[in-house]
Amino acid sequence: MQISEAESFVMKVLWKRQPQTAEEIHAAIGDRDWQVATVKTLLNRLLKKGAVAADRDGRRYLYAPVLTREAWLQGESENLLDRLFGGRVAPLVAHFSERRKLSKKDVAELRKLLEDLDDDR
């Protein structure tokens, strides 16, 4: 499921606490210069995509995520790898290592992950 960057702000709020009203989500986003109407528009898009569910509570709706953060991360990660690196992880790591974006801690964690993968096989 593809969700936009703006929609992801709404999802991140809902993943932290659920259910919430549009007004509560608006308040939690805070640092964006959005009106409540913008949040409601994003919520309607997310409803149509099946990423959130809404339950009527009197005159308002309570929204909760259907799409899990883990499923979203999986899809976003795979999309990034497919688009930029032909679906391969090694070129991604090489890209960052060539530009010195990997700290010693990152390298140690990668070594540990590779060792664990070898142990599992």
Residue 58: which domain range? 5-65
Q: Is the pTM of this model over 0.85?
A: no
pLDDT in tens, 8-44: 999 999 999 999 999 999 999 987 889 999 999 999 9
61 with 73, same domain?
no
112 with 88, same domain?
yes
Is the backbone of residue 54 left (phi > 0), alpha (psi -120 to 50) or beta? Answer: beta
- Domain count for the chain, please give it: 2
List 63's β-bridge partners, or say none: 20, 54
pLDDT band at 59; cut points 50, 70, 90: very high
Residues 6 or more apart in contact with residue 70 via CB below 8 angstroms: none
DSSP-derived 3-state class of residue 52: strand
Cβ atoms of 14 and 64 within 8 Å: the answer is yes
CATH number at residue 47: 1.10.10.10
51 with 86, same domain?
no
